[in-house]
Amino acid sequence: MTSLIKQISDFFSRMDVSRPLLNEIPEEHHVQEVLMVGLNHRGAEYRVQKRFPKAHITKIENPLVSFQGEEGKFDLILVNVFLEHVRFSVSEKEQIAKRFSHLLERDGYLSVNFFTQTSTLFDAHLSKWEHWSSFRNQYALYRHFGQGHVGDPVPEGYEDRQQSRANLEACTGSSKIYEIVGDPGRVGLRSKIGPFVSEDYFTDQEPQLEPYHLPRTIKWQPHTVSKKAGWRRHPFPGDIYQKGVGLIGPHNQDSYFKEWTKHAQRHRDKWLRDERYEMVDVSLEEFAQAYHASKKLDWLTRTGFVRVLKFHQQHQPHVLRLFCARDKQTQELVAGLALMQLDDIHQSFHTVSFICDHVRQTSVGVGLIDHWYTRGIAEGVRFFNFGIVWREGDPGAWKGYSKFKRQFNLYLIAYPKPLLKYVWGKNVPTQTSR
């Protein structure tokens, strides 16, 4: 009888909310350190140990009590404490939220059981990825901001490249159908083909539309806003790809590489000690020749990328940065990186790169990134845009290079669906949503 009771107890202890939580964690996510806060974690502990058998689990009861290893970081934190209880003051709750945010690894997960209450305790410090109910209890799953969750705030000062006049002028300068419109901070691009007029805006600020004598279709791609009075959801997706951005501020201008993974830091040190190669600025012709010689991707794709670079050289040569790693002995260009630097938004964009097969076992890939950062910081770049970073649903071929990009402590940005508005009539004021 005792054995049967124990089996029933074990069964129900395993029927807990850790199942939907753990299903949200990708199989490739490396969970080494787990923190469990509160009581009644028996079922969750069982599931964690089953899925991550090598994980080390630390348990505490009171979230305000310090414990050994306080300065450590955790890949997974499970909180099962009634945080809304009156015994926690407002300042203590804020202290708890900040503490767990600090203890959570950059790419970690935090699960909280709020019991029968709903709470916004962690919302100012972390991004809420999921929310669900089970047996009348309320649960939420959090991650740090910048992990690619739609609606997360973008870094302070960040703007989409479509807010750069230098970038838009390349379009307007090459075609008569385009015109730059709008105010600083909410610049747009108007296109006119016969009687059809459309305007596109990429900004979190609602566009300040100007009167115009023809009807228009307005497309607004916000960074975080998912709905706004006077606008409707666009029927088609907008910028659907997740982007990764390296951030530079006063705190890390001289120590940016210390935020990279240990693997990337080791390769940076190895590259700086390697005296066989040097970084040199090159012309577009030299870059294109070396790029084609590398045989990276197929000929058609390489040719398309080179045409993009030629377009920018023709219409905005001042934004191009082309450099290569050169073998000092043979003078061969063995790897290269092409960038588009938009100084008006303090941003540099990874555009084209290549590494020849016979140097792939060296640290030249990290060397290119380090040279990009070193040079960019000296020129006032604050945002190093690595472009698309793979996420579930993207082509599998992108996954390998995205894994390389993720080594550089990127802030991942994903936009919501764009918004749409039709403006009719001649010279009609267009801020009808106000």
The CA distance from 426 to 410, in Å, is: 46
Span 250-275, pLDDT tens digits: 999 999 999 999 999 999 999 999 99
The gap between the terminal CA atoms of the chain, to the nearest Å, is: 70
Average pLDDT of the residues in 63-73: 72
Count of Cβ atoms closer than 10 Å to residue 7 Cβ: 10
Tell me, yes or no, if the pTM score tops 0.85: yes
Spell out the alpha helix ranges (H) of 59-204.
Answer: 90-103, 165-174
Both tokens of residue 221? 């791609």
Both tokens of residue 366? 């990290």
Span 7-25, pLDDT tens digits: 544 444 444 556 667 777 8
Longest dimension (CA), the chain: 86
The residue to which tokens 């945002």 are assigned: 383
Which tops the pLDDT comparison, 236 or 373?
A: 373
pLDDT attached to residue 206: 94
pLDDT over 90, % of the chain = 59
In this prediction, residue 401 has a pLDDT band, given cuts at 50, 70 and 90, of very high
> Can you point out the beta strands (E) in 165-252?
178-183, 186-193, 196-202, 216-221, 232-233, 243-247
The CA distance from 403 to 46, in Å, is: 30
Q: At what angle do helices 284-294 and 299-315 cross, to 10 degrees?
A: 170
User: What CATH number belongs to 2-143?
Assistant: 3.40.50.150
pLDDT attached to residue 411: 97
Average pLDDT of the residues in 22-36: 83
> Reduced to 3 states, what is the DSSP secondary structure of residue 89?
coil
- Is the domain 243-413 a CATH 3.40.630.30 member? yes
Given a contact cutoff of 8 angstroms between Cβ atoms, the answer to whether 29 and 23 are in contact is no
How confident is the prediction for the chain on average, in pLDDT? 88
Average pLDDT of the residues in 340-363: 96
Both tokens of residue 80? 């099962």
Both tokens of residue 401? 């290079």
The CA distance from 346 to 84, in Å, is: 43
Burial class (CB in 10 A: 0-12, 13-18, 19+), 239: middle
Phi, psi (5° rounding) for residue 197? -125, 135
CA 187 remoteness from chain centre: 23
pLDDT attached to residue 282: 97
The domain spans of the chain are 2-143, 161-239+417-423, 243-413
